[in-house]
Structure 1
Amino acid sequence: MKTLVSPGGIEAWHVESDVVPLIAVAFTFEGGSAHDPEDRPGVAQMLARLLDEGAGQYNSDAFQERLAGRAIELSFNAGNDAIGGSLKTLVKHADEAFELMRLALAEPRFDQDAIERVRAQTIAGLRYQQNDPGVMATRRFFEEGFAGHPYGRPTSGTPESVAMITRDDLVAMHRTMITRGRIKIAVVGAISADRLSGLLDKVFGSLPEAQPLPFIEPTSLKQIGSRFVVDLDVPQSVIRFGTQGIAWREPDFIPAYVLNHILGGGAFTSRLFQEVREKRGLAYSVGTSLVSYRSAAMTWGYTATKNERVAECLDVISQEISRLTTDGPSDEELQKAKDYLIGSYALGFDTSTKIAHTMVQIAFEGLGIDYIGRRNALVGAVTQADISKAAERLFGDGRMLTVIAGRPTGL
C-alpha cells in the first residue's frame, strides 16, 4: 500500500494487485447528515440516493443501463459525518466506469421525476418504520442522547421533512459537500499508478475546491441514568442502551475496543451473550459496539426480550458492566480476547472492496497509512491497567441511557 498523488494533486491510497482483473474504489467526502438544514433532515441521504439517478447526458434509466451493460457497481451512501461511495469494475471497463463515476459526482441531473420517485420511496419506508420497534427505539435513543445537536436528528429525515426537501436543497448540499478538498480515496486492484493517476484527475480533479464547513460542536451522550419507553403494542420489547465512548482517533480506543469485545462485542464469547442468553434465556441476541463520530463517541448496546422480562434483562446487563468495571476481566479472558481480535483481523481483507473500504475509513479517521501494519501490535500490547482505565472512561458509575420500545412491565 502506498500513497499516490496525481499530477493534478489528487491523493489516494493505492494497492496494486493483479490477482483478479478487478478495480475497487472507495471514497468519502467530509460532511454528511449533521449538515442537513435543521428543519429538513434527510437531505444528505436523499442526495446520496440521487447521485446515480441520472447524470450528464444520461437520464436515470440510461445511466443505470450503462452501468448494467458493463457490470459496473456504483453506489453512494450518507452518514452523520460523511457522504461516501464505492465503485467496482472489470479492468477492461475501467475508462467507462470512472467516467460514469465522474458524471455522477460532478454532473448529477437531479431530474424532478427522479426526485419525486426517491422522495416517495423514502417516505413510504419511513412510514413503514414507524411500526418497527427497533427503528423507533433507535430514533428515540438519539433524540434523547443528543438532544439539541445535529446527531439527535434522524439522518433519514421524517415523512414531513422529506416532503419539504426541494431540488435547490439538493443542489446546495451537492455544491457544498462534493468537493475535491475534503475527499479521501482508496483504490485496490489491477491498475498501475500511472493509469490510476490519470483517471483520478479526470474524476476528482473536475470537482470544485472545498469551502469551510459549518462547525459541528463536540458533544457527549446526554440523559445517562434515564429510561424512556416508546409505547408500542408488541409482545417483545426492543432495548437500546448506551454510555460514554472513546473516539477511534484517541490513544485509549484500542483498550476500549478490547474491553468492548469482552463485554458485548465478541458474539458468542462475550459476557453479555453468556449471561443474558446462554444462562438465562432472556434474549436471542445481545451485544455492544463502540460508535465514533467526528464530534461525539459512545458505547452502544442492543437486545430484545419479552415485556415481562425487561427489568430482569436490564439488571443483568447493569450487573455485568459493574462487575467488569470493578473486577476487570481475568488474565485468561483478556488474552483470549486479544488473540481473537489479532487473529481475525485479516478476515476483513479477503476482497478488494473490503480492503478499499477499510483503507478509506482509516484515512478518514487520520490514523495514518501504516495503521493496518501497526494495529495488531497495539491490540497485543493492551494490559489490565489499560482495560481498567478504559472501563472507568466508558462506564463510570454504571449508569446508562436506556430506551425501550414496547410495553415493558415491572420497571
Structure 2
Amino acid sequence: MSKEATLTHASIQGVQIPVIYEHSALIPAGIVRLVFQGGGKLQDGELIGRGAVIEELLEKGSKKRGNLGFAKALEQRAITLSVSSGMQTLSFSLNFLQDDKEQAISLLGELLLDPNLSDTELQKVKTAITAQILANQNDYDYLAKRLLNRVLFDGTPLAHPKLGTQKSIAKIRLQDVQKALESTLTLQRLIIILGGDIDKEATLALLEPILSKLPQGTPYTKPSFSVRKEPATQTQYAPTQQAYIYFGAPLHLEDLERESHLAKVASFILGSGGFGSRILEEVRVKRGLAYSAYIHYNINPRLPYMSGYLQTKVDSSDEALEVVRKTIAEFVAKGVSAEELQAAKRFILGSEPLRNESLSQRLGRAFDEFYADKGIGFSKKELEKIASLDLPTLNAYIAKHTEIQNLSVAIVTAKEKKQKSGF
C-alpha cells in the first residue's frame, strides 16, 4: 500500500535537513534523491553554462572506478543513478531494487564525495556541450524561446541559456567546477527525498555516514524575479519556412493559497487545455493559422508570468499574433462561460489520478509543493477548491488580471523576399 508523502527532518552534524518520504510496497524497490539548492543555472554568474557542465561531469562516474567502471557497477545490479541541474538545484536521483539498497547508496556516496573530475573529462564535456550549442542554431523553436527569455528577463540570469554560449563554455576551468561544487554540496542546502518499499530511518542511517562528510556550508536564499512590464517585440531572422512565435506577459500573484486554483482553471481554459481551449479554437480550428497554439500561467510565487507559443506560415505571422492579442483581450473583458468552466473542472479533476500514478510523480509533486513553500498536500486542497469554484468568482479573477495583455513577443522568421521589378 501507498501512503501520502510526509515531511520530517533529519539531524546531521547539528543541521536539520528536510526529509520528504512516502512508503509504497507495490514493488520491492526504492528511490533516494539528494537535492542541493543553489546548484543550478541561477548560480552560474558570468560563467554561463557552468551548471550544465557540472551536470555532465557528474555523469562520468567516480574517480575510484572511472566512467566505464562506474557504469558497469550500476548495470550489474540494475541501479540507475542520474544527475540533473535545474534552475536552482543540483539533484542526484537513485533508483534500486530493495535487495541492492546498501550497494546503491554506497555508489551514490562514491559519486557525491569523489566524482571523476579531471581536465580530460572536462574537455570532453565542453566539446559535447559546444556541439549541442551549435546544433541548437538550427532549432528554431529553441531560438525563439531563448529570444523570449532575453526579452522577458533582461538583466537577470533567466535571460541566459542553460547550456551557455561557445565563449562562456570555453572559459570554464576545472577550478570553477570545483568551487561551485564546494559551495553547493553542503548540508545547509540539502533536501532528502525517499520513497518506495524502504524504511525511512534505516535508509537515513545508511546515508548518514556519507552525508556527514559534507561541509555544513551556508543556507540558500531563494531569489524572486519579475518579467518585463512594458511590451516589447524582437525578431530574429533565419532560413526557415515557418514563423516561430513565443510570447509572454506579467501575471500578478498576490496570495498563492487564495489564487492558485483560480489561475490554474483560467490557464486551462485560455490556452493550456489543448482542444477546446480558447487560443487553439481561435488560431487553429477557426482560422487554420497553426497546428498548435498554447498559453500557460506559471503559478510560481517567485516567478509568476504568462507565456505561450505558436508556429505559423511566415506570411501569416502578423495575423496570428493579432488573433492571440484579441483572444486574450476578449478573455479578460468577457470571462468564460459556464460550459467552459464545467469542462475544465471535469478534465482537471478527472485527470488527477494520471498525474499521481507513479511514486516518482507523487514524490516530485511533494517536493515541488515543499520547495514553493506551499506545504505538502497543497495540490489536494487546490483540487477541492476547483471542485467548488463558481463562475462569478472565476470571471472576477480573470477580469482583474488585465496585465496579461501586455505581451512581449519573440519571433524567429524568414526575411521577406523583395519583389523583382521588370517590364
Shift of 1:59: 1.3
The equivalent position to 1:34 in structure 2, one of 42, 52, 67, is 42
Question: How much does 1:238 deviate?
Answer: 0.7
Shift of 1:351: 1.6
- Give the alignment partner of residue 232 of structure 1, picking from 221, 235, 238: 238
**Is the CA contact (8 Å cut-off) linking 1:10 and 1:201 kept in structure 2?**
no
The question of whether the paired residues in 2 share the 8 Å contact of 1:10 and 1:205 is answered with: no
Equivalent-residue separation in structure 2 for 1:29 and 1:115 (angstroms): 21
Q: Which residue of 1 aligns with 2:251?
A: 245
Which stretches in structure 2 are left out of the alignment for 5+ residues? 418-423
Give per-residue Cα distances to partners, 1:301-335, cap 9 Å, x unaligned. Answer: 01101101111111111111111101111122112
Hey, what's the Cα distance between the residues in 2 that align with 1:57 and 1:311?
58
Secondary structure of the residue aligned to 1:108 is coil
Is residue 298 of structure 2 the alignment partner of residue 298 of structure 1? no
After superposing the two structures, state which structure 1 stretch, 219-228 or 125-134, moved more.
Answer: 219-228
Gaps of 5+ in 1: none
- Is 1:3 the counterpart of 2:26 in the alignment? no
In the TM superposition, what are the counterparts of 1:193-212 in structure 2 within 5 Å? 193-212=200-219
The one of 178, 181, 187 equivalent to 1:180 is 187
Q: CA RMSD in A?
A: 2.3
Instruction: Summarize the alignment of residues 8-407 of structure 1 with structure 2, pairs less than 5 Å apart.
Output: 8=12, 9-31=16-38, 32-38=40-46, 40-213=47-220, 216=223, 218-222=224-228, 224-245=230-251, 250-251=256-257, 252-291=259-298, 295-388=302-395, 390-392=397-399, 394-396=401-403, 398-407=405-414
Render the CA deviation track for 1:27-86: whole Å, top value 9, x for unaligned. 432222111122x20011211221231225121121111112211111122222222232
Task: Check the 8 A contact 2:247/2:309 in 1, yes or no.
Answer: yes
- The secondary structure found in structure 2 opposite 1:396 is helix
Change (3 A) 1:236 1:294: same
Distance in 1 between residues matched to 2:254 and 2:32, nearest whole Å? 23
Distance in 2 (CA, whole Å) between partners of 1:407 and 1:224 is: 26
SS of structure 2 residue aligned to 1:269? coil
The answer (yes or no) to whether the contact 1:235–1:307 under 8 Å persists in 2 is yes
Deviation per CA, 1:85-130: give whole Å up to 9, x if none: 3221111111111122222223223122221111111000001111
Kindly provide the CA deviation profile for residues 123-182 of structure 1, in whole angstroms up to 9, marking residues without a partner as x.
000011112111111111111211111111222100110111111111111111122222
- 1:396–1:66 CA distance, 2 compared to 1 (3 A): same
Secondary structure of 1:234's counterpart equals coil
**8 Å CA contact retained: 2:229, 2:249:** no
**Does the CA-based 8 Å contact 2:306-2:404 persist in structure 1?**
no
Q: Offset of 1:359 from its aligned partner?
A: 1.8
SS of the residue corresponding to residue 19 of structure 1 reads: coil
CA contact (8 A) 1:17 1:189 kept: yes
Measure the CA separation in 1 of the matches of 2:269 and 2:342.
10
CA gap 1:213/1:129 in 2 versus in 1, 3 angstroms: same
Larger radius of gyration: 2
Q: CA deviation at 1:223?
A: 6.2
Q: Are the counterparts in 1 of residues 249 and 404 from structure 2 also a CA contact under 8 Å?
A: no
Give the SS at the match of 1:24: strand
Q: How many residues align?
A: 408
Distance in 2, matches of 1:289 and 1:27, equals 30
Structure 2 length normalisation: TM-score?
A: 0.89
- How many angstroms apart in 2 are the aligned matches of 1:125 and 1:208? 34
Q: Which whole-Å CA distance do the structure 2 matches of 1:363 and 1:14 have between them? A: 12
CA offsets 1:324-381 (integer angstroms, 9 cap, x no match): 1011111221122122112212212212222222222222112112324323113224
Deviations 1:221-260 (A, max 9, x none): 1164221111111110111000113569823222111111
